[in-house]
């Protein structure tokens, strides 16, 4: 009986010792996951921009939030003289050489019929779009009553995304152009 007790004790001791490193690895993995999550949350950047029509009568304030390396959310509030503010919002995409047209297909849907005048951004996706807009942020924003507003901004420091600042244009459903600026944040 003494041998059996001794063997049982050793068996559990070996098992416990074998589990100890496994528990340490699990604890390390959990800690790493928490730290990675904290880093990813802290990578979110936000900022603001402003814009106006060529005549100065239409003003737009922009707010953006970038939480992924090449995309985020953009909100534009359009103010016209004597009119109620209109809000447009949606996803923006930072175009890089690695971007594929298939990954940004929602930029064309729905297409607003009065839009025009922007190279390579017609009613159907084109692969030349990627080459032309590399280093830009682009968006097709949803507004009141199904209206759409599209935007394209040349980034000042593309490695920093929207945080690096940029300038460009948005086109309202009427076809009117808004010149926009985003200071580095």
If you average pLDDT over residues 157-185, what whole number do you get? 94
State how far the Cα of 137 lies from the Cα of 158, in Å rounded to an integer: 9
The model's pLDDT over 22-70, given as tens digits with 9 standing for 90+, comes to 445 554 554 444 444 444 444 689 999 999 999 999 999 999 999 888 9
Residue 69 is predicted with a pLDDT of 87
Q: What is the pTM of this model?
A: 0.73
Residue with structure tokens 């604890």? Answer: 27
Q: 3-state DSSP call for residue 140? A: strand
List, in sequence order, every residue forming a beta bridge with 74; answer none if it has no partner.
Answer: 64, 90
- pLDDT tens across 126-140, in order? 888 999 999 999 999
Q: What is the mean pLDDT of residues 90-119?
A: 85
153 vs 44, which has greater pLDDT? 153
Length of the chain: 185
Q: Compute the mean pLDDT over every residue in the chain, rounded to the nearest whole number.
A: 81
SS3 86: strand
- Distance, CA of 49 to CA of 62 (rounded, Å): 5
Per-residue confidence (pLDDT) for residue 24, from 0 to 100: 55
Calculate ∠ Cα 172-180-55, nearest 5°. 65
pLDDT of residue 118: 83
With a cut of 90, say whether residue 1 has pLDDT above it: no
Give the integer Cα–Cα distance in Å for 113 and 19: 65
CB 172 within 8 A of CB 78: yes
Share of the chain above pLDDT 70, in %: 76
Q: Give, as one character, the DSSP assignment of residue 112.
A: P
């Amino acid at each position: 009986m003494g041998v059996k007790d001794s063997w049982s004790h050793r068996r559990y001791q070996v098992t416990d010792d074998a589990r100890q490193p496994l528990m340490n690895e699990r604890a390390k993995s959990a800690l790493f996951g928490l730290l990675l999550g904290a880093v990813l949350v802290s990578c979110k950047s936000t900022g603001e921009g402003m814009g106006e029509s060529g005549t100065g009568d239409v003003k737009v304030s922009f707010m953006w939030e970038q939480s992924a390396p090449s995309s985020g959310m953009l909100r534009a509030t359009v103010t016209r003289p004597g009119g109620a503010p209109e809000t447009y919002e949606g996803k923006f995409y930072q175009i890089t050489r690695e971007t594929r047209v298939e990954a940004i297909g929602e930029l064309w849907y729905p297409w607003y019929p009065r839009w025009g005048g922007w190279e390579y951004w017609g009613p159907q996706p084109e692969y030349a779009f990627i080459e032309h807009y590399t280093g830009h942020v682009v968006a097709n924003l949803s507004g009141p009553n199904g209206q759409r507003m599209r935007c394209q901004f040349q980034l000042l420091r593309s490695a920093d995304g929207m945080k690096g600042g940029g300038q460009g244009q948005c086109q309202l459903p009427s076809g009117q152009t808004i010149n926009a600026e985003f200071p580095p944040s």
